[in-house]
Amino acid sequence: MFLSKKILKSTLKLNNFQRNMSLIKNKAYINGKWTSALNNETFNVLNPVDKSIIGSVPDMNCDDVNLAINSATEAFKTFSKTTAKERSDLLRSWYNLMVKNSEELANILTQENGKSLAESRAEIKYGNSFVEWFSEETRRINGEILQEPMRNRKLMILKQPIGPVALITPWNFPHAMITRKVGAAIAAGCTCVIKPSEDTPLTALALAKLAEDAGFPPGVMNFITTNLNNSPQIGKLLCEDKNIRAISFTGSTAVGKILYQQSASTMKRLSLELGGNAPFIVFESANIDLAVGGAMQCKFRNTGQTCVSANRFFVHNSRFDEFLQKFVDKISQDIKMGDGKKNNITHGPLIKQSQIDMIDHLVIDAINKGAKLHCGGKKLSDLGPLFYAPTVLTEVNRDMEIYHREIFGPVAVIHKFNDENDVLNEANSVNVGLAGYFYSEDLSQIFRVANKMEVGMIGANEGLISCAEAAFGGVKESGIGREGSKHGVDDFLDIKYLCIGNIKY
């Protein structure tokens, strides 16, 4: 009966919820209360379209985070004893509120991330689907009864929540990366300390407001905000605090390795979704129109700022000219850059100055060293300070910096190939393996290539592969663990073996 009154209360709130109530919050959320930083410091959140100030949020330090950890630790003592049905109802209430407020969530996301409203709406729907999924998956976290090796014994496997967990999320999908992690953690019975990116904290705080309205008990979800300067020490604290039993992080491989090292002292469970350098292969038998459509989806979504973006294009020599021409034409026809709030805009700016400077440097370096430019290749300063034109380069070689980098921007580098084994060797030559894509109408080749490609996720004749039902994650230095799917709760559960002996029948 722990949550019965809270669930009834949340249902009443849901029925009476005022949709004109703003979800933009200027405080963090700890132990069920909206709070400033202890030192009252704040930092501004900027709109990447024009770098205008949207609002400000608390710039918290380790003292604030310790309060959040203590809150999650205390709440876990009770929340870990809730039934699967109670947790399912809470997640469902949260999901229903997110659906009701999808348009406002999309507007907040567009303001602080810069992606178009169409893309923001798609992310909100995608992110909501994880909460819906885990509200159902909660009731399917089952143990096992084992066959005993001798009489008078019963052997069981129990699955129990691991404890309070820390969730560190990036700016490129500020809604979906939170819901994918939180949904799984809550389903397992864990309490959470959630640290969103300093670039996109407002979406996270809007989710906190809806979680509060959904009736989550104090301390179950704690949202902390901090600027970039405090992030390293806060990450270290979350890794080394003995009360935090698991870390789930999405971000760069370099930062993931640091968190991995820092978590060693407490033998913490880690779920790391790290960098990618996705190959996109177009074989001789491919449907070129289908391949071009897929390339548009997985290269330019969020202006190329996704970890599963196609980064290295390989097109069979016999189809190269056809693919290149159709791809460049499609870019010209379909992409319209600008302020994401405006009608008919498909793509927005890059997230910050360091991002556009890095992209511009890579392209200039490649062109200066002999790469051929087919479109783009420049900043679009008339649109705003962080816009970069969709760019296609060919004749790129190993002497160019862009050959070796995950680009994370609207730049496609296209190479020719002739032999299947050669292109697979090149596709697998990097130290990461998150996603990979290939196009072929040869069924045997589809199974052969899928078996040999060294990535955690593959799109065969498909450019958009992620969904709540599928396991998201990589191999090699692209991370540890899986998010989404029935496997998404695994990193938040301890397995306990129970042997009951000397049973008299």
SS3 82: coil
CA 416 to mean position of chain CA atoms: 31
Q: Residue 35 carries which side chain, given as an amino acid letter?
A: T
- Encode 277-296: b = buried (16+ Cβ within 10 Å), e = exposed: bbbbbbbbebebeebbbbbb
DSSP for 172-187, please give it: SSTTHHHHHHHHHHHH
Which residue out of 132, 212, 273, 406 is catalytically annotated? 273
β-strand partners of 269: 246
Residue 290, CB-side half-sphere exposure with 13 Å CA sphere: 15
Cβ 456 vs Cβ 464: under 8 Å = no
DSSP for 196-236, please give it: --TT-HHHHHHHHHHHHHHTPPTTSEEE----TTTHHHHHH
Q: Work out the number of other CB atoms within 10 angstroms of the CB of residue 344.
A: 8
Q: Residue 160 carries which side chain, given as an amino acid letter?
A: Q
- What does the alpha-carbon distance between residue 9 and residue 15 come to, in Å, rounded to a whole number? 10
Cβ 453 vs Cβ 279: under 8 Å = yes
Cβ 137 vs Cβ 488: under 8 Å = yes
- Encode 19-30: b = buried (16+ Cβ within 10 Å), e = exposed: eeeebbbbbbbb
- What does the alpha-carbon distance between residue 261 and residue 82 come to, in Å, rounded to a whole number? 33
- 273 is annotated as an active-site residue: yes
Q: Which residue has the tokens 């691991």?
A: 162
Cβ 192 vs Cβ 169: under 8 Å = no
Residue 191: φ, ψ to 5°: -105, 160
CB proximity list for 394: less than 8 A, separation 6 or greater:
324, 371, 372, 374, 413, 414, 415
Q: Which of 172, 412, 399, 471 has the alpha carbon at shortest distance from 280?
A: 412
Q: Which of 98, 107, 123 has the alpha carbon at shortest distance from 54?
A: 107
Annotated catalytic sites, by residue? 273
